Structure formats: C-alpha cells, structure tokens
Amino acid sequence: MAKIRGSIVVNIDRCKGCEVCMVSCPTGTIAMAKEVNHKGYFYAFPANPDLCIGCASCAMVCPDGVITVYKTKI
Amino acid sequence: MAEVTGIKEIIKPENLVYKKTKLMTDKVLSYCPGCGHGTAHRILAEIIDEEGLQSETIGICPVGCSVLLYEFIDIDWQEAAHGRAPALATAIKRLLPEKFVFTYQGDGDLAAIGTAETIHACNRGENILIIFINNGIYGMTGGQMAPTTLPGMRSSTSPYGRDVKIMGNPLKMTDIVATLLGTYYVTRQSVHTPANVKKTKKAMRKAVQYQKLNKGTCFIEIVSNCPSNWKMTPVQSNKWMEENMFPYYPLGDLKIPAEQITQKTSNSEKND
Ligand SMILES: Cc1ncc(C[n+]2csc(CCOP(=O)(O)OP(=O)(O)O)c2C)c(N)n1
Ligand code: SF4
Ligand code: SF4
C-alpha cells in the first residue's frame, strides 16, 4: 500500500520560536533547536523527518508563515 | 534564507501542499511570538488571493498592535483613527460600491473607543466585513483592561483582577451586533489550532462571498491570545484561552443568512 510521506521547510531566520507548530503536529515531527537564530529564538525544525505526513497543520497555525509543506505517496 | 528541511527528495514543486501566500509581503511581522494576529492576517490574505480580489479590495487598518497591517498584506489600505474604521469603511464602500471593503480591529479599538462606530455601522447594515480580534486586553499600549477583559482577569489597570462590581461585565460585542437587523452574517472563531484555522478560513470565505450580495454587514470575531500581556508562553496562552475565554465567548455562528437556514431545514427534512 502506498504510504503518505511529507517534508517541511522551516525558514529559520523568520521563526520566532513560539512552539505553536510543535504542539500542533500530530506526529511529533517538530522539535525546537538547541541553538538560536540571529534574533535569539530557538527555532523549530523537523527533528523526526521520517514521521512527517505532510498534513500542513504546523504551517496553518504558524503566525509568521515560516513553514512550507510538501507531500507525496511512496 | 537560512532553512532546515525534512526529507530532501520530497521537496519538489509538484509535491507542494502549503506555502505562504504571495499576498503576504516579505516584511517581518511586528507581533510577539505566537500572537494570533499573524495567523489571522495570513488567513485573510489567502482568502483575498484565492477569491481573486487583490485589486478589488480596500482594507481599513486599526490602531493597536495591528496598526501596521498595511505593511503586511499587498492590497489597498486606509489607516483609520482609533476605533473609527467602520466609519471610514462606510465612506469608502459608499463611494466605491464595487470594491470589497473590510475593517480589521482589536477589542480596544472596536469595543471601547469605537463602540459607537461599530454598532451604528452594523445597525445601518453597511456592506462591509468587520474582522474583530478579541484578545481581552489592550495589547499595544501595555496590557490595560479592555471592555472585553474577563471577570477576575488581571491586567495592568486591574492588577487585582477585573472586579465586575466596579468595572462592569465584559462586553459581548458580537452578541450585540448579531441582534441588529443590519447584520447579515455574524460568527465567532479562533485561529490557534489547525481545525480552528480551517473553520475561520471557511467563515471568511463565506463572508467575502456574502459581501457580493450587498445584504448587510458581515462580522467575524476571532477570539485570540496576547501572550506578552497575559504573561504566558504562546502555548500556555492558547490553553488559557480555551479554558477561560471560550466559555465566555463561545465559538460558532451567531447569525446566518435566512437563505442558509431554509437550506439547512430543507436538507434536514430530506434526511428525516
Ligand atoms: C484616540 C486614541 N486614543 C488612545 C490611543 C492609544 N492606544 C493605542 S492602541 C490602544 C489599544 C489597542 O488595543 P486593541 O484594539 O485591543 O488591539 P491590540 O493591540 O490588543 O491588538 C490604545 C488605547 C490612540 N492611539 N488614539
Ligand atoms: S509556529 Fe512558526 S514561528 Fe512559531 S516556532 Fe513554529 S515555525 Fe517558528
Ligand atoms: S502585545 Fe499582544 S496583541 Fe500585541 S503583538 Fe504582542 S502578543 Fe500580539
């Protein structure tokens, strides 16, 4: 059976580290980085990229429009 | 642009499912981390884009944290004096009736200094859309109490919590305008979860389409957060909002067009 796989792109410079995407991700793909961006925010990143299903939940709730989402069937 | 990505092989144009709309400019939003204003802007921009209304839309900016909204969405704008957006929208819509005209206002703007403008524009049934961001506080000026501040809620001007005996009860503006004959569609939504974002987007699309009918004012309240002045993390503030704001400001439609009600009843009759 075809499996849905997703992938996100996070624009690090624009992330404000609010964590709203992280708690909205149903699969636990996203975590906050241990280092900060140039503005001093711990930015979001796909810590478990294999878990992403491309549902775009993170992108929908990101107040700063930082996340782009891709999805495909494998 | 510095970026981090998931699985590289999936990142191809044909697999794209979500990208920030081009109607959002490249300006960095002036909001605090996790503030619902940004999400509300993006939904609005997406709807204007998807409905093909970029050159047909005139927005009215408020005074408040979203005072710079004209920097963030690439459409025509006018800036109103504090609370006066519905009056300005009235003038613009009457002069240019073919345009889609909306206001975007906070609760200090719409429900305090602008109460009269809001109520009278809705009562006259101006053919505009009013978007009302209710975070229960004056965000921009340092978290003073607003008419919408919850009973017992602390703010910089109610440090011991809002005492309703002295300060009155929170004003439910959306409930008030729903009773006016001039309003056509009145709803209360939020933008803090993916499901709520979808519902708000649906409501906004409906409102934009209803505006074309010229049947009265559409009014969308978005119950939102102000993590900075509520003194919480963004995630905590969204939880606090669900637990405290939603019981007082329940989400859902307060007024839907008569045509829709008839449609709904005939549908349910069919289902019976
Ligand atoms: C005539 C006038 N009175 C007062 C102010 C000060 N002022 C600026 S923003 C604001 C309140 C904004 O609060 P709200 O509308 O809730 O928006 P938020 O900042 O929370 O998004 C006030 C009182 C002003 N700019 N002009
Ligand atoms: S929701 Fe957006 S701004 Fe907030 S942490 Fe996630 S990517 Fe960053
Ligand atoms: S002060 Fe409140 S309303 Fe204003 S940008 Fe910050 S979080 Fe948003």
pLDDT, tens digit, 9 for 90 and up, residues B30-54: 999 999 999 999 999 999 999 999 9
Asked whether the beta carbons of A46 and A10 are under 8 A apart, the reply is yes
Q: What gap in Å lies between CA A18 and CA B266, rounded to an integer?
A: 45
| One-character DSSP codes across B137-175 | EETTTTSEE-TTPPTT--BTTBTT---HHHH-PPP-HHH
Identify the three-state secondary structure at position B27.
coil
Complex confidence, ipTM: 0.96
Residue A54 lies in a domain: yes
Q: Which residue carries 């979860």 as its tokens?
A: B193
Partner residue opposite A18 with nearest CB, options B19, B34, B37? B34
Locate tokens 């969204």: which residue?
A: B238
Decide if B5 is inside a domain.
no
Q: Do B33 and A46 touch (CB under 8 A)?
A: no
Q: In a 3-state reduction of DSSP, which class is residue B255?
A: strand
Whether residue B264 is contained in a domain is answered as yes
Q: Is B189 in the pocket of ligand 1 (CB under 6 A)?
A: no
Q: Are strands B76-79 and B144-145 parallel, antiparallel or unpaired?
A: unpaired
Instruction: Write out the residue range of the structural domain in which residue A26 sits.
Output: 4-69
Q: Which residues share a beta bridge with B106?
A: B133
Q: Per-residue confidence at B269, pLDDT binned at 50, 70, 90? A: low
Residue B84 CB partners (closer than 8 Å, separation 6+):
B114, B117
Task: Give pLDDT tens digits for B94-148.
Answer: 999 999 999 999 999 999 999 999 999 999 999 999 999 999 999 999 999 999 9
User: Is B146 part of any domain?
Assistant: yes
Instruction: Please check whether residue B10 lies inside any domain of the structure.
Output: no
pLDDT band at B264 (very low <50, low <70, confident <90, very high): low
Distance from CA of B115 to the nearest CA of A (A): 28
Question: Per the domain annotation, does B8 fall within a domain?
Answer: no
What's the CATH number where B237 sits? 3.40.50.970
Which DSSP letter does residue B242 get?
Answer: I
Tally of domains within chain B: 1
The whole-angstrom separation of Cα B163 and Cα B169 is 8
**pTM value surpassing 0.90:** yes
Question: Which among A46, A61, A72 has CB closest to B15?
Answer: A72
Evaluate whether residue B14 is within a structural domain: no
Which residue of A5, A19, A62 is in closest CB contact with B10?
A5
Q: Do B39 and A9 make contact, defined as CB atoms within 8 angstroms?
A: no
A73 contact residues in B (CB cutoff 8 A): none
φ/ψ (deg, to 5) at B60: -115, 120
Name the residue range of residue B198's domain. 31-271
In a domain, residue A44? The reply is: yes
Say if B194 falls within a structural domain. Answer: yes
Output the CA torsion sign for B249, B253, B258, B263. negative
The SS3 call for residue B246 is helix
Are A19 and A32 in contact, with CB atoms under 8 Å apart? Answer: yes
* A1 CA: distance to closest CA in chain B (Å): 18
Q: Is residue A74 part of a domain?
A: no
Nearest CA in chain B to A44: B4
Contact between A6 and B35 using a beta-carbon 8 Å cutoff: no
Residue of minimum CA distance from atom 8 in ligand 1: B64
Tell me what percent of the residues of chain B surpass a pLDDT of 70: 95
The answer to the question of residue A59 being in a domain is yes
Q: Which CATH number fits the domain that encloses residue A46?
A: 3.30.70.20
- How many independent structural domains does chain A possess? 1
Radius of gyration of chain B (CA): 19
- Residue B136 token pair: 């229960």
